[in-house]
Amino acid sequence: MAQTSAETIKTTPLYEQHLAANGRMVPFGGYSLPVQYASGIMAEHKWTREHAGLFDVSHMGPGFLTLNNPGGDAEADHAAVAAIIEPLICGDITGLKPGNIRYTMLLNDQGGVIDDLMVGRSPLLGGALYIVVNAGTKDGDFAIIEAAAGDKARLMRADADNALLALQGPEAVQVLARIAPGAEDLSFMQYRAFDWNGERLIISRAGYTGEDGFEILVSAANAARLWDALLADDRVQPAGLGARDSLRLEAGLPLYGHDLDASVSPIEAGLGFAVSKRRREAADFPGASRILAEREGAPGRIRVGLMVEGAPAREGAEILDAAGSVIGVVTSGGFAPSLGKAIAMGFVPPSHAEIGTALQVSVRGRAQAATVVPTPFVPHRYFRKSKAS
């Protein structure tokens, strides 16, 4: 993909808010976004872990896939729209309950990941799906989905005239409940619409920090007002791309274009849970033969977590075995503020993927000790309702 030139860098509806808050703006995913604010990445990271961090993720690709001619039967309409997207992905969308969201992957014919995405079933009638894809791949993703939809459905992109905010952290639920009463009733990976000052907000209990939190789709016209309303709460501080990356790394979550790409399968990436049982049994998804074979046997490489001694091993650093032979590469790495240590993720052969395996990483030409450890590095704190509730 060609690099985006400075002349075509876009701004989000919250650009002026970032400047007013002394955000240090950088190009990312074709947009000018804050990498950090005055307090710095470390402080923003820790604030999110302890309170609530507010992120602008408007560069992402939200959209709605809606039937052109819904029949009025909720289950039939949902089955029809699910049948459009399921041949492209490995998730069971037909089985989604109203208002629930599924993490899944758009796959190529070789079983490689074109993108990872969220697909939610509308809690309303009409056979609609709420879809959120990654920023760098959204144009290609939406083109694939539109081609599959043909004349059966229409894809309404919501990235041009909306903003997407992520409120993340243990106090996010109390903050958001004051603005959108009832949001606290959502469980992890559920969403619905809420009214706020005459505005319809689409709120999902989700995020990419490992913390409890929410993503909020709001019109561009009201984005700044919502941003300011959230920041008016003393429990909320703005956070930039730097903290978002360190939080997701501690949470052991892969980032597309780094830990995931078109050559990596869900099994290699350690995301086999996203290949739904019904889809496995039917073997009716792209690259099924490779993915199912890897699931039953052993893939050629596996994504692992590494605890690194010394300086952080960044993306591209070589992973070495105990004897010093190159066996893999780091795909994400950095300092973990919550742990006070360097951590990394990368791909190694299955023979070197067992927890506790002693490895090395090459940092600026020097071998440093590293150990394979479980992920997430920091436990997830998603909120899931008990079945009895």
Is it the case that residue 4 has pLDDT exceeding 70? no
Structure tokens at 91: 């998730």
Q: What is the mean pLDDT of the chain?
A: 96
Is it the case that residue 385 has pLDDT exceeding 90? no
Is it the case that residue 389 has pLDDT exceeding 50? no
- Please check whether the domain covering 300-373 is classified as CATH 2.40.50.100: no
- Distance from C-alpha of 326 to C-alpha of 337, rounded to nearest angstrom: 28
Domain with CATH 3.30.1360.120 in the chain: 6-60+160-250
Amino acid at 65: L
pLDDT value of residue 6: 47
Is it the case that residue 116 has pLDDT exceeding 70? yes
- Distance from C-alpha of 261 to C-alpha of 315, rounded to nearest angstrom: 14
pLDDT value of residue 316: 98
DSSP reduced 3-state for 20? helix
Task: Please tell me the pTM assigned to this model.
Answer: 0.96
Amino acid at 363: V
Which positions ≥6 away from 337 have C-beta within 8 Å?
41, 42, 45, 46, 246, 250
Under the banding of pLDDT at 50, 70 and 90, the label for residue 126 is confident
Under the banding of pLDDT at 50, 70 and 90, the label for residue 81 is very high
Name the residue with tokens 């973990």.
Answer: 336
pLDDT value of residue 387: 64
Is it the case that residue 320 has pLDDT exceeding 90? yes
Nearest residue to 248 via CA among 348, 134, 333, 356:
333
For strands 31-36 and 52-56, give the pairing.
unpaired
Query: Per-residue pLDDT tens for 137-191?
Result: 999 999 999 999 999 999 999 999 999 999 999 999 999 999 999 999 999 999 9
Domain with CATH 2.40.30.110 in the chain: 300-373
The string of DSSP letters for 322-363 reads TTS-EEEEEEEEEEETTTTEEEEEEEE-GGG-STT-EEEEEE
CATH architecture of 6-60+160-250: 2-Layer Sandwich (3.30)
Arithmetic mean of pLDDT, 361-386: 96
pLDDT value of residue 125: 82
Contacts 24+ apart (CB under 8 A), 278-282: 278/92, 278/94, 278/95, 279/86, 279/90, 279/91, 279/92
- Distance from C-alpha of 329 to C-alpha of 342, rounded to nearest angstrom: 16
pLDDT value of residue 386: 75
Torsion of CA 218, 221, 226, 228, to 10 degrees: 150
Query: Per-residue pLDDT tens for 244-279?
Result: 999 999 999 999 999 999 999 999 999 999 999 999
How much of the chain, in percent, has pLDDT values that exceed 70? 97
Domain 61-157, CATH homologous superfamily name and number: Aminomethyltransferase beta-barrel domains (3.30.70.1400)
Q: Determine the Cα angle at 265 with ends 264 and 266, to 5°.
A: 125
Query: Per-residue pLDDT tens for 5-58?
Result: 445 899 999 999 999 999 999 999 999 999 999 999 999 999 999 999 999 999
Nearest residue to 335 via CA among 197, 216, 196, 242:
242
pLDDT value of residue 373: 98
In this structure, are residues 333 and 311 in contact, taking their beta carbons and an 8 Å threshold? no
In this structure, are residues 148 and 85 in contact, taking their beta carbons and an 8 Å threshold? yes
For strands 113-121 and 128-133, give the pairing.
antiparallel
Arithmetic mean of pLDDT, 63-87: 97
Domain with CATH 3.30.70.1400 in the chain: 61-157
